[in-house]
Structure 1
Amino acid sequence: MFADSKHVSIQLPSKDFHIVSYIFHERLTADCAWKSLRYIPTIPTNVANISFAHNNIRGIKNGIFRINHDLIYLDLSNNNISKLHQRSFQGLSKLETLIISNNSINHTAIPNNIFKPLVSLLQLAIKRNFNHPFSLHVSTLYIDISNNAFYVWQGPISNLTCLTYLDISNNFCSNVSTNFFEYGSNLTTLLIQNNLLGFVLPTDTNGEILAKLTKLKLLNLADNRIPSLPTTIFYSQTEIRMLNLSRNMLENEIFKIDHMTKLSYLDLSYNRLSTLCASFTRQLDILSNNVPNIAVNLLGNPIKCSCESIEFIKWYTSTNVHVLNNLHQECQSLQINFNSSKLMYGYLKKTCSSHTTTIVTVGSWLTIFAIVIIAGIAYRYRWKLRYAYYIVKGKHHGQIKPFEIDDDFLYDAFVSYADEDDTFVYTKFLKHLEDDRNIRCCVHKRDFLAGNDIATNITSAIHNSRRTVVIISHHFLESDWCLFEFNMAKMESIYARSKENIILLVFLEQISSKDLPLNILELIQSKSYIEYPNDEYGDVVFWDKLKETLSV
């Protein structure tokens, strides 16, 4: 085992007649591993290093090491130790390394001050032992409590101000108190990979959990199912050299790193990053001015050789940061062969430009098509839309009220006419119908409400009248407001009166069919109309017929 030193072997019979062998050299070392020991035998006082690994030792008696003041290294791993006593390590004042991993120690079987005699301890390894936290009263530099079941880390951990190395990986932890690392100000290496910290770190928006770890140089957060990290999660880590965030579920990288002026390696491999955002690449470029050999590992991320990644590829071609990624393999899988990243970017830039032109062209045509379709629909239903708008507006202002009974109208007829024909309306029409035949008429100059807009007044008047009398003349056909009144009456007939004919056309003069608008011509062909006569006998019949029609 030690070829360059003098070896002396002795045999000590144990209680169960197992053989214990010791090998001596300048610093006496005893190898008692794999000897099927059930208890710890008495160890000579001049032994400095001893291993009892891979035995069947069940406990450590009080004072068993009380005479071994020179012991520096003690390995008790892979036994069946289930209980520790108050003075189990008494006398080991010079012990620097204690390994008791892979035992069956219950957290309730650890006295509070059991490690107090180990004043020189530098390394403590107690992996794969516990399923609950316990108190550590020890001043040491190195602690390994990985592969246990500490699923909740409640702090603070006291008496560990000298600690520089802490491994609490593989512990299924999903909850960490904000003061857990409060006394870890001298910690330089923190290994907390393979836990479930993705349930707690995304909510630490102020970076309180890691705030006291100002001297940290290596931080391993791999395999923690982290979906995202807050911007200031690492704001205290100004001395960090290596940051491992691999094998998580990161889809973005909004956390700040430009204050890590000594960072040399950032591992983001095997996450869900499809690219690196511009703000993050700027931070990397800033860091590359302080650390010329800074490297970022992006292997295993879904970064594609496509237009979606072109800004990242552009940065990749010009940055001083050493980037590990699969881009060349990705491009080769697309049967694109490149000898350099610049050629790859040039090809994509050209391809994506044509894609952009195509997308813009197609998008423009689709927009124009949609506008034309919408405009066509709006034009086709323009009168319906305008009617609905003015009806709603009239109801809102109280000008239109719901009918309590079918015959609940303010007027028997709304008279639609051109201003040039008002002489006929006032001297003949209203006289014969209102004065002689008691028909209530609504005319705009007399009955419209002052202060309301004309369109609302028209719509309200039509809606509040049983019929609409349209006095057709050449002046009527030339008036936009007259045509508006006709179309509003038509909409009222269709949508408010269940297609009941409420329009009565009165031709004041002879008009050729070619001069009539199509919608009026359609109504003439399908509905009856009245022509104003030029003889005295016809005049009487005309007014009687008009009264009869409006009285129905």
Structure 2
Amino acid sequence: MAFLKWIHLLALLHYVRYGLANTNNCNFDKQCRCWLRKDHLNVDCSNSGKFSVPTVPTNVYTLNVSHNDILRIRNGTFKNLFQLITLDLSWNHIKTLEPEAFIDLHSLKQLILQNNLLRYDNAVFPTNIFRPVVSLQSFNVQRNSRKNEHTFPDDIISNILTLESFYVDAIFVSRVLSFGKGYSRLQKLTKLFLGHCLLTKIDKNTFVNVPYLEHLQISRCTIRVYNPSALQSLLRMKILDLSNNDLDFGGFSNLVKDTEKMKLLETLILTNTFPYQMILPKLFFYYLGATKIRELYINENWFFNATPEGEHIERLPPTLQYLDFSKNKLIDCRFDMPSLKEINIQHNYLSRFLASESYAPMLENDTSYLLETVDLSFNEIHELKWSVFNNQLKLKIINLSNNLLSNIAFDISLLTKLEMLDLSNNNITIISNMQPKETITNKSMRSKFKEDLSNNLLQCVCKETSFLRWMINHITVFYNIHHYKCKLDSGKVVDRNFVHNVEQVIKGCRDYTVLVICISLVLCLSIVIVVGGLLYRYRWKLRYMYYMTKSKYYRYRPLDTEGLYTYDAFISYSDKEKDFIIKECIPKLEVERNLKLCVHQRDFIPGEEITVNITSAINDSKKTICIITRSF
């Protein structure tokens, strides 16, 4: 389906480049536009309000008369247009084609009659009307038939033996569609596209007379019943499009069995084909393994389990390279994918599964898969198993956008070929995990690696300046970095000029840091000065407390300690006053008054420091008597 869109887009670009760029009004009809391409005259008379086909030069190569009000194509309308290759009569009101309407169109290869009022019967399409178009390869008559139970008459179409592509309507409600025997003459008919389509069912007789088909599109036909062997005759089928139908599980199973016979099948499109919740039919991939399937589209359905047998790991066909399992209800998805290069499993419910498991499980032989692109977006993923990508060493693109990830907590260090890691629209505020940061740093120097963090609310605050500097230092890694969202310290969110905003934040945080350091130094210095001043002011009290504490733990304590004080008084004097103490004080106080004195020459403990002895004497005496003399 994607390749058809590309074809249409390329055709449009081709027309714009080579057509409109050199377009002028035609000399023979000012309402038409003409241009030459490779010496071929191309005429475009679309949307010009014409009621009949204009007369054009005989050397015209392509003629577009679409979107007008033409009612009838008369005999000889295209007489002598022997070089005409493409004729577009779509989007008119054509009801009648006269028998010799297409005379002289011997070179015509493409005829477009879609969106007119042409009935599929011999009254509108005379039996021999297409005999002149001996080179016709593509015929589009879709969006014409308004009558049920009719397909394009086989006796008319059978005259176009060169026909390769046929676009036709099919409205069959009460009976089963069947292409007549005349179609069997069209051995070159390889492409069949059903346009205005309404079918209740298809069976083995539907396509029995078009066995040469390689590309069949029966999309938007509301098919509900797929009988067994409905496509068994299409052994040459390469592209099968059954999208936008209403098959049940039984019809799906019948289809799966038919695919085994399509040995040449390369593309199978089952988009929005199954409106009921179901699991994949058993042996689905087994039957496809007998084909040459390269692309498989089973998106926009109601599958909730991608593995038909529970814990069994399903092996994909060895030729399959693209698998689209998006927009389903999957809660479990794991495959052995020997040749798969791209898998799309976006818009599912794989959050819980992927937190501990992988869609590509590790096999016994530790084989690395060939996968290059994986799309896991829109799965409400909060976290991923650390090694989820470790056996996919050829990965180039990982799409994890539109999930709920808050950090890069998975390993990408082994993915040497990784080119894009899309983490846009998640809940990432910073990358705090060191290993992913180191891996990203290494990849930025060795490859074209890009990472997309668009629409994540990154924290542009002072405490995350290390992360912000790392981003700026590796600016080439981050895709579209200038439009990243940034939440400032103030709570304001900015989504433009990310790099400039980050640089301003880093600069502001640097100035703030210097201020904090200066204030801290001043505060510390003030504390030191205050404490030093207090120590100096109370130095004697502190010294006293120090020596008292020291004496308490280290001085000699006599065994007999009667009373609270050992001495009645401690006599402090100079050695020059020794005679006065011995002759006057001791006799008067100790003998006459019966007081006990502490005299250092008699009572101090030998070997102790003098300061300790003095402190102990003061502490053990009721009074301290100082003999104040000049020598003291």
Asked if TM exceeds 0.5, the reply is: yes
Q: How much does 1:195 deviate? A: 0.5
- Please list, as runs of the form range in 1=range in 2, the aligned pairs for 1:457-536 lying within 5 A after superposition: none
Corresponding residue for residue 437 of structure 2: 281
Q: Could you report, residue by residue, the CA deviation over 1:146-193 in whole angstroms, capped at 9, with x for unpaired residues?
A: 1111112224334612111111111111123xxx312x2100110000
Q: How much does 1:63 deviate? A: 4.1
Corresponding residue for residue 504 of structure 1: none
The whole-number CA distance in structure 2 between the counterparts of 1:108 and 1:206 is 27
Corresponding residue for residue 30 of structure 1: 166
The whole-number CA distance in structure 2 between the counterparts of 1:269 and 1:8 is 44
Shift of the 346–78 alpha-carbon distance from structure 1 to 2, 3 Å rule, reads: closer
Corresponding residue for residue 481 of structure 2: 325
The whole-number CA distance in structure 1 between the counterparts of 2:436 and 2:191 is 50
The whole-number CA distance in structure 1 between the counterparts of 2:368 and 2:325 is 15
Is 1:7 aligned to residue 151 of structure 2? no
Shift of the 358–251 alpha-carbon distance from structure 1 to 2, 3 Å rule, reads: farther
How many residue pairs match? The answer is: 377
Corresponding residue for residue 126 of structure 1: 270
8 A Cα contact 1:229 1:254, kept in partner:
yes
Is 1:181 aligned to residue 335 of structure 2? yes
Corresponding residue for residue 414 of structure 2: 259
The whole-number CA distance in structure 2 between the counterparts of 1:260 and 1:271 is 22
Is 1:20 aligned to residue 152 of structure 2? yes
The whole-number CA distance in structure 2 between the counterparts of 1:327 and 1:311 is 20
Is 1:60 aligned to residue 202 of structure 2? yes
- Give SS of 1:166's match: strand
Q: Percent identity?
A: 19
8 A Cα contact 1:193 1:222, kept in partner:
yes
Corresponding residue for residue 20 of structure 2: none
Shift of the 474–325 alpha-carbon distance from structure 1 to 2, 3 Å rule, reads: farther
- Give SS of 1:196's match: coil
Q: How much does 1:350 deviate? A: 2.9
Which residue identity does 1:121 align to in structure 2? L
Unpaired runs of 5+ residues, structure 1, are: 370-417, 426-470, 476-508, 510-552
Corresponding residue for residue 232 of structure 1: 387
2:179 to 42, 56, 61: 42
Which residue identity does 1:166 align to in structure 2? L
- Give SS of 2:459's match: coil
Relative to the length of structure 2, the TM-score reads 0.52
Is the helix fraction higher in 1 or 2? 1
Q: How much does 1:79 deviate? A: 2.1
Shift of the 326–199 alpha-carbon distance from structure 1 to 2, 3 Å rule, reads: farther
Relative to the length of structure 1, the TM-score reads 0.59
Which residue identity does 2:471 align to in structure 1? Y
- Give SS of 1:114's match: helix
Q: Could you report, residue by residue, the CA deviation over 1:433-466 in whole angstroms, capped at 9, with x for unpaired residues?
A: xxxxxxxxxxxxxxxxxxxxxxxxxxxxxxxxxx
Q: How much does 1:305 deviate? A: 3.0
Q: Relative contact order (C-alpha < 8 Å, sep 6+): which is higher?
A: 1
Task: Give the stretch that moved more between structures: 323-332 or 158-167.
Answer: 323-332
Q: How much does 1:86 deviate? A: 2.6
Corresponding residue for residue 371 of structure 2: 216
Q: Could you report, residue by residue, the CA deviation over 1:492-527 in whole angstroms, capped at 9, with x for unpaired residues?
A: xxxxxxxxxxxxxxxxx9xxxxxxxxxxxxxxxxxx
Q: How much does 1:282 deviate? A: 2.4
- Give SS of 2:451's match: strand
Corresponding residue for residue 245 of structure 2: 103
Q: Could you report, residue by residue, the CA deviation over 1:328-365 in whole angstroms, capped at 9, with x for unpaired residues?
A: 66489969999793x65543333223444677799998
Corresponding residue for residue 517 of structure 1: none
The whole-number CA distance in structure 1 between the counterparts of 2:400 and 2:170 is 39
The whole-number CA distance in structure 2 between the counterparts of 1:65 and 1:328 is 55
Q: How much does 1:309 deviate? A: 4.0
8 A Cα contact 1:205 1:231, kept in partner:
no
8 A Cα contact 2:331 2:348, kept in partner:
yes
Q: Could you report, residue by residue, the CA deviation over 1:265-310 in whole angstroms, capped at 9, with x for unpaired residues?
A: 2210001111224432321232234433x32111110113332442
8 A Cα contact 1:300 1:326, kept in partner:
no
8 A Cα contact 2:378 2:402, kept in partner:
yes
- Please list, as runs of the form range in 1=range in 2, the aligned pairs for 1:49-448 lying within 5 A after superposition: 49-109=191-251, 110-111=253-254, 113-128=257-272, 129=274, 130-132=276-278, 133-134=280-281, 135-136=283-284, 137-138=287-288, 139=291, 140-154=293-307, 155-158=312-315, 160-176=317-333, 180-182=334-336, 184-204=337-357, 208=361, 214-277=369-432, 278-292=434-448, 294-319=449-474, 320-325=476-481, 330=486, 341=499, 344-356=501-513, 423=560
The whole-number CA distance in structure 2 between the counterparts of 1:73 and 1:324 is 41
Which residue identity does 1:181 align to in structure 2? F
8 A Cα contact 1:204 1:233, kept in partner:
yes
8 A Cα contact 1:296 1:324, kept in partner:
no
- Give SS of 1:152's match: coil
The whole-number CA distance in structure 2 between the counterparts of 1:288 and 1:233 is 22
8 A Cα contact 2:455 2:485, kept in partner:
no
Q: How much does 1:260 deviate? A: 2.0
Q: How much does 1:64 deviate? A: 2.8
Unpaired runs of 5+ residues, structure 2, are: 1-65, 67-85, 88-107, 114-118, 123-144, 528-554, 568-594, 596-632
Shift of the 91–158 alpha-carbon distance from structure 1 to 2, 3 Å rule, reads: farther
